[in-house]
Amino acid sequence: MPVLVNYDRCTFKTTCFAANVCPKGTLRVDATLGKVVVDPTVCGDCPGPCLNFCDPVALKYAPDLLELDINQRELDGLLTKEAAALERTELVKKRKEAEALAKAEAERAAHAPMTLTSKNFVQEVRDATVPVLIDFWAEWCQPCKQIAPIVEQLAQEYAGQVKFAKVNIDDEPQIAGQLRIQSIPTLMIFFQGQVADMIVGAVGKEQLRSRLQRVVEAVAQLQAQQTQAAPSPATQPPPAPQPKNVAPVRLMRGPNSAPPRRPGQ
């Protein structure tokens, strides 16, 4: 952590043991100035052996350079004790806000739709314990760009209940062909490796949420029934709920269909 030197306390004469043991060499004796100097911007992360080895307790550290600056200005008489306390309070507030923002960003990133490829598609979809919504898209598809923010918002809303993923059909034409994707955007919801619903086109957020919620509720009901029935390990669970107008699709069947065509082809 960054440190400063309180020269009112420093009793330096010819040597400074604290400077000698500084692992970064940033606390040192300046022979020209005849005193101990420190560059706090290059201090290490250690709370410092330097503090422990300064007998007159002339070194003071802070969590960061901003608070160290407050300490230095207070020490130099540029801030009163009360003004320094107010600045520290405001600094702590900003630090907590920054930490909360970083935590929120990390959570959003953790729940953002993952990218599926031919290498991880089967495992991620088949082994998921929750429904998996897959957005099939391409860079040239404008409707795909319209629905993408909706998918990302629902990914945060249904975090822990639904896994969200994306497949770029230009990068993964084999997957699109195997699942018989004829146009994009197409959203497919899988559960236990089977298609539970399919949505074609850039639908609105409420419509997509409604379709997704139906699958979530059906899965919850199915899992409750399985728990009550307590089937033996040899018993196969019933298939995932299937919408009336969607035919079952096996994961990664043979490439019998071509990928979606671009407009004008």
- What are the residue numbers of the active site? 141, 144
Torsion of CA 207, 197, 131, 175, to 10 degrees: -120
CA distance linking residue 28 with residue 20, whole number of Å: 7
From residue 79, how far is each of 61, 71, 75, 108, 252 by CA, in Å?
18, 9, 8, 41, 69
Alpha helix (H) ranges present in the chain? 17-20, 49-52, 65-75, 81-111, 121-126, 142-157, 173-178, 205-229
Rg, the chain, Cα only: 31
Instruction: Name the residue among 211, 207, 209, 210 with its Cα closest to residue 198.
Output: 211
Under 8 Å between Cβ of 204 and 212: no
Instruction: Name the residue among 191, 179, 189 with its Cα closest to residue 238.
Output: 191
Q: How many C-beta atoms surround the C-beta of residue 10 within 10 A?
A: 17
Q: What residues have CB less than 8 Å from 9, skipping those under 6 apart?
A: 56, 57, 58
CA distance linking residue 190 with residue 182, whole number of Å: 18
From residue 53, how far is each of 30, 33, 157 by CA, in Å?
18, 22, 53
DSSP-based three-state secondary structure for 102: helix
